[in-house]
Structure 1
Amino acid sequence: MTTVPRSLDEIIASADALADRFEAYEPADADRDSVDPTTALWLAASRRAAAERDLAAAVVEARRAGVPWKVVGELVGTSGEAARQRYGRHAAR
């Protein structure tokens, strides 16, 4: 069982030891390719959310530059009206 460091010197020594372990760690080939399914799902959802934020920001910039909703819709794979409904609140800011 690991004991919790109590003094500042113990905390610093523990942090240094952990830093050394992290720097020396080399994952096995199997570790690199295996991801827990829930972690994979969380990562995919996180990437999707980031992509949606990027897309909304790009729509805002396109609208500020005068790109019509019809063109925005075509570029995001939908109709201009559907794009306006989905991203219009972002573009109105």
Structure 2
Amino acid sequence: MARRSVADIKARADEFADAFENYDPKLGDQDAPVPPVMAVKLAAWRRDAAERELADAVRAARDQRLSWREVGEAIGTSGEAARQRYGTSA
């Protein structure tokens, strides 16, 4: 495979950017099958994002003086379990 110049790479990047900006989604596009490894990576990314969001919400709740019992009830666990899980970050 021949080495590409920086100009070639930039031109190709511009093509991709144009295609992305001009993309008009059609009904059913989101139903395209996702390769299994990508599905696992996506799910892991979503889980990590949700965990960060939950930790931020717990921290905000504690800043507003919610008890660990109230926090635990809100996330479906005991106050002690919530404190053990989020106490260091809250």
TM-score by length of 2: 0.75
Alignment of 1:1-93 (within 5 A): 3-6=2-5, 8=7, 10-19=8-17, 32-91=31-90
- State the secondary structure of the residue aligned to 1:4: coil
Instruction: Quote the RMSD (CA, aligned, Å).
Output: 2.8
CA distance in 1, matches of 2:32, 2:70: 40
CA distance in 2, matches of 1:57, 1:6: 45
CA distance in 1, matches of 2:14, 2:72: 53
- State the secondary structure of the residue aligned to 1:89: coil
Q: Which runs of 5+ in 2 are unaligned?
A: none
CA separation of 1:33 and 1:66: change in aligned 2, threshold 3 A: same
Counterpart amino acid of residue 52 in structure 2: R
Query: How many pairs are equivalent?
Result: 89
CA separation of 1:31 and 1:69: change in aligned 2, threshold 3 A: closer
Q: Following TM superposition, by how much is the alpha carbon of 1:5 offset from its aligned partner in structure 2, in angstroms?
A: 3.0
Q: Following TM superposition, by how much is the alpha carbon of 1:21 offset from its aligned partner in structure 2, in angstroms?
A: 5.6
CA distance in 2, matches of 1:46, 1:86: 20
Counterpart amino acid of residue 77 in structure 2: T
CA distance in 2, matches of 1:81, 1:5: 58
Which of 1 and 2 has greater Rg?
Answer: 1
Higher helix share: 1
Q: Following TM superposition, by how much is the alpha carbon of 1:56 offset from its aligned partner in structure 2, in angstroms?
A: 0.2
